[in-house]
């Protein structure tokens, strides 16, 4: 190295930090414009409905008993789904990820697939299976056990919890299994050497090690369940079980300015609760991060279930049949049925016309295309932000790196409907930006809402890569981007693909925000599906849902084949 270089170095030092700073700045700017500002505007509007300060809306909304019932229902259903979801997801993730369970690869795909199905489709299936009068499963069980009445009533808080759980546990399953598969097996081996049984090892080593991921997973389920609209609107409404989301949509659909104020006011509450919970948990979890993958390369270890192998497999099969196979089969069957009151195989009751509608109706195809474009763009931009953020969070001490992280968490904790409302009110040209009625506003909304799932996946993958792996590249002369490309990216590659899909899928069939943000040219498949479900034809809706499902399975299969099993969901 020659001396003149010394004079140049200060510049290079400056550049080195500026890139990070610039990235943080760009991400913050994006979030401030499209998230913070609209949300603050909503809060502002709740307090200043007509320009002047007023608590009238608050008084009106919070003195109304139905709203309180709704709040209570939301907390109960989301809380219960969270607990049940984790109770289901943890053992499943362990069995599928760390034991010699039979068909575990298949099971893994099957469980993750539930994530890929629009939740309101599941709600429809369960409604058909467990309604108190003629629910197929209900009647079957009644006859089987010779009961005087049907055992279940889906139109209840319990029913709501059940459907929310069956559709949101995959969030926990995905989060937990990813952490579990990355855990250093020697930690468990050490426990076994110390004389602990496999179960004891799970309880004393695996479980505590997984604690941060479990907490993160639980909260993800809580927030998703609490801000879900589709399921409560289908399951809850007929039984008069209202949740905050259905109340908000009711207020919005009233269509008056006062209705909007009320919706906003109620939304502010949900937003604060959700974010408080999220923030507290990040704070708690943030202090207990374990690095479980060392710089040394380890082979994954598999727990031998021994005599429990067959019983465990049977238990998982039964679970899969109840939670995945039966509802999905119901959806498929519905898509071929002319008269829902009759047996599918009854003469003249089988038809392909709903499938024909799905593939011929221009509007449906346009919507499908819109959704694919919007979700792909949102997922791609989202994953770029996620990777950058994960890197900044885990590998640098750059000042301000926690700000975007916080904002992304806030975004995902904010109920979809609130995000959409905020965007409509602020992005219509009133404040200089007009993206209303374009696909861009939908993409922005998707990103704000679903970025977190991708980011968490990548952050968790990243925290589990020992820093020295990257330092080794650094000392070898690789710069910031090069290290990212050569070392980090290949190691978190599977997580990046998974993260992409975790953002893509919920965006692809997104309903709540699309409902408010769509315009003539930018309808989405989720909205289309919901419209068919509730207003036009449930059979067509089922055919659309089945088509989405097939699409997902095929993409997953191809990814798996092409990458020789490395990249799959």
- Contacts (CB under 8 A) with other proteins, residues 323-342: 338-342
Q: At what angle do helices 157-181 and 65-98 cross, to 10 degrees?
A: 40
Q: Looking at beta carbons only, is 155 or 222 nearer to other proteins?
A: 155
Among 78, 217, 424, 443, indicate the residue that binds other proteins (CB under 8 A): 424
- The piece of 49-57, 178-186, 359-367, 388-396 that touches other proteins (CB under 8 A) is 359-367
Please tell me what DSSP assigns to residue 295: S
Q: Looking at beta carbons only, is 48 or 359 nearer to other proteins?
A: 359
Q: Looking at beta carbons only, is 15 or 276 nearer to other proteins?
A: 15
Shortest Cβ 486–other proteins spacing (Å): 7
- Considering only residues 204-263, where is the footprint of other proteins by CB under 8 A? 234, 237-242, 249-250, 252-260
- The piece of 312-320, 322-330, 383-391, 536-544 that touches other proteins (CB under 8 A) is 536-544
Per CB under 8 A, 432 contacts other proteins: no
Number of Cβ atoms within 10 Å of the Cβ of 189: 13
Among 149, 193, 535, 564, indicate the residue that binds other proteins (CB under 8 A): 535
Q: Looking at beta carbons only, is 254 or 280 nearer to other proteins?
A: 254
CA 564/CA 553 separation, integer angstroms: 16
CA 299/CA 188 separation, integer angstroms: 13
Among 101, 172, 368, 569, indicate the residue that binds other proteins (CB under 8 A): 368
Q: Tell me the H-state helices in 194-288.
A: 198-201, 207-226, 230-231, 244-254, 257-286
* Alpha-carbon distance values, 515 to 402, 424, 527 (Å): 32, 12, 6
Among 194, 197, 363, 396, indicate the residue that binds other proteins (CB under 8 A): 363
CA dihedral sign of residues 421, 161, 282, 484: negative
Q: Please, are residues 430 and 491 in contact by the beta-carbon 8 Å criterion?
A: no
Q: Looking at beta carbons only, is 399 or 482 nearer to other proteins?
A: 482
Among 436, 438, 440, 560, indicate the residue that binds other proteins (CB under 8 A): 436
Give the three-class secondary structure for 350: strand
CA 414/CA 31 separation, integer angstroms: 13
Among 59, 194, 356, 396, indicate the residue that binds other proteins (CB under 8 A): 356
Instruction: Report which secondary-structure segment, H or E, holds 354.
Output: helix 353-360
Distance of CA 61 to the CA centre of its chain: 29
- The piece of 198-206, 358-366, 388-396, 455-463 that touches other proteins (CB under 8 A) is 358-366
Q: Looking at beta carbons only, is 2 or 144 nearer to other proteins?
A: 2
Shortest Cβ 201–other proteins spacing (Å): 22
- Considering only residues 9-68, where is the footprint of other proteins by CB under 8 A? 9-10, 12-13, 16, 65-66
* β partners of residue 428: 434
Shortest Cβ 294–other proteins spacing (Å): 6
- The piece of 91-99, 180-188, 278-286, 429-437 that touches other proteins (CB under 8 A) is 429-437
Place of tokens 């399953």: 173
- The piece of 51-59, 85-93, 219-227, 426-434 that touches other proteins (CB under 8 A) is 426-434
Shortest Cβ 339–other proteins spacing (Å): 6
Q: Looking at beta carbons only, is 207 or 489 nearer to other proteins?
A: 489
Nearest CA to 48 out of 274, 268, 271, 255 is that of 268
**How close are the terminal C-alpha atoms of the chain, in Å?**
48
* β partners of residue 275: none
Shortest Cβ 429–other proteins spacing (Å): 6
* Alpha-carbon distance values, 420 to 34, 35, 103, 264, 404 (Å): 10, 10, 42, 11, 20
Number of H helices, E strands in the chain: 27, 0
- Considering only residues 270-299, where is the footprint of other proteins by CB under 8 A? 294-299
Q: How many residues sit close enough to other proteins to count as binding (CB under 8 A)?
A: 103
CA 56/CA 131 separation, integer angstroms: 40
DSSP structure string for 494-513: HHHHHHHHHHHHHHHT--HH
Shortest Cβ 143–other proteins spacing (Å): 16
Place of tokens 């994530």: 115
User: What torsion, rounded to 10 degrees, do the Cα atoms 181, 186, 188, 193 define?
Assistant: 160
- Considering only residues 494-533, where is the footprint of other proteins by CB under 8 A? 515-516, 518-520, 531-533
Shortest Cβ 179–other proteins spacing (Å): 18
Q: Please, are residues 153 and 265 in contact by the beta-carbon 8 Å criterion?
A: no
Q: Looking at beta carbons only, is 103 or 557 nearer to other proteins?
A: 557
Site string for other proteins, 171-210 (x = CB under 8 A): ----------------------------------------
Q: Looking at beta carbons only, is 6 or 144 nearer to other proteins?
A: 6
DSSP structure string for 424-457: HHHTBTTTS-B-TTSHHHHHHHHHHHHHHHHHHH
- Considering only residues 100-139, where is the footprint of other proteins by CB under 8 A? 127-128, 131, 133-135
Shortest Cβ 64–other proteins spacing (Å): 8
Site string for other proteins, 464-493 (x = CB under 8 A): --x-xx-xxxxxxxxx--xx--xx--xx--
């Amino acid at each position: 190295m020659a001396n003149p270089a010394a004079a140049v170095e200060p510049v290079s030092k400056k550049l080195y930090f500026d890139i990070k700073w610039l990235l943080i700045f760009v991400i913050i700017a994006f979030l401030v414009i499209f998230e913070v500002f609209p949300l603050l505007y909503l809060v502002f509007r709740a307090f200043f409905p007509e320009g002047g300060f007023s608590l009238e809306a608050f008084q009106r909304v919070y003195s109304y008993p139905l709203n309180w019932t709704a709040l209570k229902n939301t907390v109960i259903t989301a809380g219960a789904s969270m607990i049940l979801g984790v109770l289901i997801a943890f053992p499943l993730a362990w069995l599928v990820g760390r034991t010699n369970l039979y068909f575990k690869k298949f099971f893994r795909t099957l469980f993750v697939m539930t994530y890929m199905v629009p939740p309101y489709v599941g709600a429809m299936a369960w409604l058909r299976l467990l309604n108190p009068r003629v629910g197929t499963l209900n009647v079957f069980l009644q006859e089987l056990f010779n009961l005087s009445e049907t055992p279940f009533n889906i139109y209840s808080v319990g029913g709501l919890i059940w459907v929310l759980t069956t559709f949101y546990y995959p969030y926990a399953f995905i989060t937990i299994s990813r952490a579990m598969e990355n855990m250093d097996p020697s930690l468990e081996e050490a426990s076994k050497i110390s004389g602990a049984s496999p179960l004891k090892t799970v309880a004393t080593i695996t479980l505590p090690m997984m604690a941060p991921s479990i907490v993160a997973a639980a909260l993800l389920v809580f927030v998703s369940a609490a801000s879900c609209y589709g399921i409560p609107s289908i399951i809850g409404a007929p039984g008069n079980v209202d949740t905050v989301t259905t109340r908000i949509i009711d207020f919005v659909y009233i269509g008056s300015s006062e209705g909007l104020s009320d919706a906003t006011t109620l939304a502010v509450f949900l937003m604060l609760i959700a974010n408080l919970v999220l923030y507290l948990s990040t704070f708690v979890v943030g202090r207990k991060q374990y690095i479980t993958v060392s710089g040394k390369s380890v082979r994954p270890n598999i727990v031998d279930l021994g005599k429990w192998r067959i019983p465990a497999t049977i238990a998982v099969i039964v679970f899969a049949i109840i939670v995945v196979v039966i509802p999905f089969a119901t959806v498929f069957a519905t898509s071929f049925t002319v008269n829902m009151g009759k047996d599918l195989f009854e003469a003249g009751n089988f038809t392909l016309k709903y499938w024909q509608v799905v593939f011929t109706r221009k509007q449906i195809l346009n919507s499908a295309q819109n959704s694919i474009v919007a979700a792909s763009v949102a997922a791609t931009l989202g994953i770029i932000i996620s990777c950058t953020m994960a890197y900044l969070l885990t590998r640098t001490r750059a000042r301000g790196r926690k700000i975007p992280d916080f904002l992304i968490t806030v975004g995902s904790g904010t109920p979809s409907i609130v995000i959409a409302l905020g965007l409509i009110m602020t992005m219509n040209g009133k404040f200089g930006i007009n993206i209303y009625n374009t696909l861009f506003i939908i993409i922005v909304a998707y990103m704000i809402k679903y970025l977190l799932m991708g980011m968490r996946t990548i952050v968790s993958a990243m925290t589990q890569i020992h820093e020295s792996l990257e330092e080794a590249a650094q000392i070898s002369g690789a710069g910031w981007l090069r290290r990212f490309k050569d070392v980090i990216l290949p190691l978190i590659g599977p997580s990046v693909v998974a993260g992409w899909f975790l953002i893509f899928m919920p965006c692809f069939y997104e309903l709540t925000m699309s409902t408010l943000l769509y315009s003539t040219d930018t309808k989405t498949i989720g909205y289309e599906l919901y419209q068919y479900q509730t207003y036009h034809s449930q059979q067509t809706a089922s055919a659309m849902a089945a088509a989405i499902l097939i699409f997902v399975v095929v993409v997953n299969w191809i990814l798996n084949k092409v990458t020789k099993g490395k990249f799959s969901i």
